[in-house]
A and B are shown apart, each in its own frame.
Chain A
C-alpha cells in the first residue's frame, strides 16, 4: 500500500531529532567506541582471542550453553505454548504470569536464589553431597542459570503465533483423517516455524549475553564455569584490556548476525499474519 506523503511540520522534525539523538547517545556511541577500540587491533584482536586458551574455553562454554538453551527451551517453549494457548486449566493465569518472571527479575537475584537451594547449607545440598554431585561453581550451575534467564523467549513467540493462527486448520486436518501427530508435524509446526525461529534467536542472544546469574552460580572458574562474558569481566579486572575488547568484539559480531536473523524471521512472521 503506498503511504501518503507527509509534510515536515516543526513538531515532527523535533520528535525525529529527539528520537535519533537518544538512540545515538545510548546505542550507537558506546557500541561504536567498542568496535573502534577493538578494531584498532584489527584482526589481531580477534586472532588473540582464539589464540588464548582461556578465552577459547570461555567461548566454547558460551556456545555450549546457548545450544543447550536453544534445544531445551525450544522444546519446552513449543510444549508450553501449546498448553497455555490451547488448554484451560485451574491457575492458568498464574502459570501464564510465572513464565514471564525471568523477564522481570534481576539475574543476580536468580543466582542467589539457586545458591539458597544448591549452595553450602542449601536445601538440596545434603542430597547433592550424598550423590557427589556439584551444582554451584560447576557446569550444572551455569546451565541452570542460562536456562532460567532464557526460558520465556521461545514460549512467548510461539504462543503469540499460535493465538493468532487459531485452531481451524488443525480441526480441518482432524476431519480429513490426520492423527494428532500428523497434524502437529504437517500443520502446526510449519505454521509456527517463523515464530519459533524468532524465539530461538532471542534465546541464543540472551544466552550469549547472560552475566549476573552465571557469575553468581558459576563463579567464573577458568575452564570450568567461565563463559565469554565472565571472561571479559575477569580480563578487565586483571587489566588485560586487549583480551577483553577482543572477546567483546566476538560477541558484538555474533549479536550483529543474530540481529539480521531476527529481522528476517520478524518479516516472515508478519507476512504470514497478513494472509
Chain B
C-alpha cells in the first residue's frame, strides 16, 4: 500500500509536536522515521494509524483520504514500544485476537497463527503468557499479532528500544527478513541512526516536528541537507569558518571548498574520518587525548586558538605514527560540508 502524508500538523497546547510534515511511501518500502527523542516521530506514526487526530493536514492510504476513518477500519498493523500484549491472553490468543474480532473462521485463524508462530520462531510458546516471555519474545509476539490480520501497512513505534543490545541486533534481522518475505509496506520509528540506516530502504529525518531530510541512507550520509542532519548522522566537528579570497578558512585550517563569496560566514561540518593528523613540530595543534576504540583510534587535539577537534583513524594507520598525548601535529581537512552559519533551524 502507498502512503501520502500532506502538511501534517499537531499541537499539544503551544507545543508543535508535528509541524507541516509531508512525505510519500511507495508500496513495499521499509521506511525509517529517524530523529532525536521527543521530535514528533511517534506522533506522525500514531496519526497515520488513526490513534491520534491531526490538527491540520491529511493522510492518504492507497490514494484514499482516511482522516475521518477510525483506527479499527484502517487495516493498519501497529507494534507498540512496550509491546502492549494482552496480559491475560496466551501467546496464541494474542496473535489470533485480530482474526477473532474480525470473525475469521476458527480453522483459518488457527492455520494463520501456526504460520506466524513459525515465521517468528515462536513455535512451542503458544500456551505461554506474556509475563512468562523474554523481551525479545514479547516483541516477536507483538509483531506476529500485528501481522495476523494481513494489514496493508505495518507501523512500528521504537520497536527495539526496550530490549538489550544483543537482542536488538537479532530483532533487527527478524524484521528485515520478515519484511523481505511478507513485503508489507512498513514504517518504523527510531532514535538510533545506526538502526535506521541498517534496516531502511529510505530514511526520513524528523527534528522538532519538521521533516529535515528524506532519502536513501547513503544519500543522507553523503549529502546531509543541513548542519543538523550532518551532526546527527555522524561524529562530526563543527567549525566556524569564513570565506576569504584564497578559500575558506577556519582559524589556521584550510577548508576545501568552491564558490563562496569572500566574507561569507559559514559552519564547516567535518566528519571524524575526513581529517588527517600527522606529527609535525611546526604543527598547528597539540594532541590532548588518544582513545583506543577497538579497531579504531580516536585522537582529540586542541588547536592553538583554543578550539577542540577530533578524528578517527584505523588502528594501524601510518598517520598515527608518533601521535600521542602532548605531541604537536599538523592537520589537513580532506572533505567538509559548508552551511551558512546560524541559518539552519535546529542547529545549535
A176 x B88 contact (CB < 8 A): no
| Partner among B51, B98, B145 whose Cβ is within 8 Å of the Cβ of A171 | B51
Query: Chain A contacts of B77 at CB under 8 A?
Result: 175-176
A interface, CB within 8 angstroms of B: 168-169, 171-179, 182, 186-187, 190-191, 272, 275
Asked if B131 lies at the interface with its beta carbon under 8 angstroms from chain A, I say yes
Proximity string of chain B (118-153) to chain A, C-beta cutoff 8 Å, 1 when within and 0 when not:
000000000000110000000000000110110000
The 4 A-B residue pairs with the shortest CB-CB distance in the complex, in nearest-first order: A176-B98, A168-B84, A175-B78, A178-B101
Q: In the bound complex, what is the Cα–Cα distance between A169 and B80 (angstroms)?
A: 9
A177 x B131 contact (CB < 8 A): no
B76 x A173 contact (CB < 8 A): no
B88 x A177 contact (CB < 8 A): no
- Given A174-B70, A174-B71, check contact A169 B102 (CB 8 Å): no
A175 x B49 contact (CB < 8 A): yes
| Partner among A171, A186, A190, A272 whose Cβ is within 8 Å of the Cβ of B71 | A171
**Which single residue of chain A is at the shortest CB-CB distance from B84?**
A168
**Which single residue of chain B is at the shortest CB-CB distance from A170?**
B84
A177 x B87 contact (CB < 8 A): no
- Among A174, A176, A186, A190, chain B packs the most CB atoms within 10 A around the CB of A176
Asked if B86 lies at the interface with its beta carbon under 8 angstroms from chain A, I say yes
Asked if B82 lies at the interface with its beta carbon under 8 angstroms from chain A, I say yes
Query: Chain A contacts of B87 at CB under 8 A?
Result: 169, 191, 272, 275
Asked if B97 lies at the interface with its beta carbon under 8 angstroms from chain A, I say yes
* A to B CB contacts below 8 Å, 12 in the list: A168-B84, A171-B71, A175-B74, A175-B77, A175-B78, A176-B146, A176-B148, A177-B101, A178-B97, A179-B72, A186-B86, A191-B87
- Among A175, A186, A190, chain B packs the most CB atoms within 10 A around the CB of A175
Q: Shortest Cβ distance from B135 into chain A, in angstroms?
A: 13
| Partner among B70, B73, B86 whose Cβ is within 8 Å of the Cβ of A169 | B86
Q: In the bound complex, what is the Cα–Cα distance between A187 and B145 (angstroms)?
A: 15
Q: In the bound complex, what is the Cα–Cα distance between A226 and B97 (angstroms)?
A: 51
A190 x B88 contact (CB < 8 A): yes
Instruction: Find residues 38-73 in chain B having any chain A CB closer than 8 Å to their own CB.
Output: 49-51, 70-73
A176 x B130 contact (CB < 8 A): no
A187 x B86 contact (CB < 8 A): yes
**Which single residue of chain A is at the shortest CB-CB distance from B131?**
A275
Q: Shortest Cβ distance from B159 into chain A, in angstroms?
A: 14
Q: Shortest Cβ distance from A172 into chain B, in angstroms?
A: 4
- Given A176-B98, A176-B101, A186-B97, check contact A171 B131 (CB 8 Å): no
Q: Shortest Cβ distance from A268 into chain B, in angstroms?
A: 11
Query: Chain B contacts of A177 at CB under 8 A?
Result: 72-73, 75, 98, 101-102, 149
| Partner among A169, A175, A186, A272 whose Cβ is within 8 Å of the Cβ of B72 | A175
Q: In the bound complex, what is the Cα–Cα distance between A41 and B111 (angstroms)?
A: 66
- Among A169, A177, A182, A190, chain B packs the most CB atoms within 10 A around the CB of A177
A171 x B149 contact (CB < 8 A): no
Q: Given contact pairs A178-B72, A191-B87, enumerate 19 new A-B contacts (beta carbons under 8 Å).
A: A168-B82, A168-B84, A169-B86, A171-B71, A171-B84, A172-B84, A172-B85, A173-B86, A173-B101, A175-B51, A175-B77, A177-B98, A179-B72, A179-B101, A182-B101, A186-B97, A191-B88, A272-B87, A275-B87
Q: In the bound complex, what is the Cα–Cα distance between A275 and B50 (angstroms)?
A: 28
Query: Chain B contacts of A169 at CB under 8 A?
Result: 84-87
| Partner among B71, B82, B102, B131 whose Cβ is within 8 Å of the Cβ of A175 | B71
Q: In the bound complex, what is the Cα–Cα distance between A172 and B149 (angstroms)?
A: 13
Q: In the bound complex, what is the Cα–Cα distance between A178 and B94 (angstroms)?
A: 13
**Which single residue of chain A is at the shortest CB-CB distance from B74?**
A175
**Which single residue of chain A is at the shortest CB-CB distance from B157?**
A168
Q: Shortest Cβ distance from A179 into chain B, in angstroms?
A: 7
Q: In the bound complex, what is the Cα–Cα distance between A191 and B97 (angstroms)?
A: 15
Q: In the bound complex, what is the Cα–Cα distance between A186 and B87 (angstroms)?
A: 11
Query: Chain A contacts of B86 at CB under 8 A?
Result: 169, 172-173, 186-187
| Partner among B73, B74, B130 whose Cβ is within 8 Å of the Cβ of A275 | B130
Q: In the bound complex, what is the Cα–Cα distance between A34 and B201 (angstroms)?
A: 77
Q: In the bound complex, what is the Cα–Cα distance between A173 and B70 (angstroms)?
A: 12
**Which single residue of chain B is at the shortest CB-CB distance from A193?**
B88
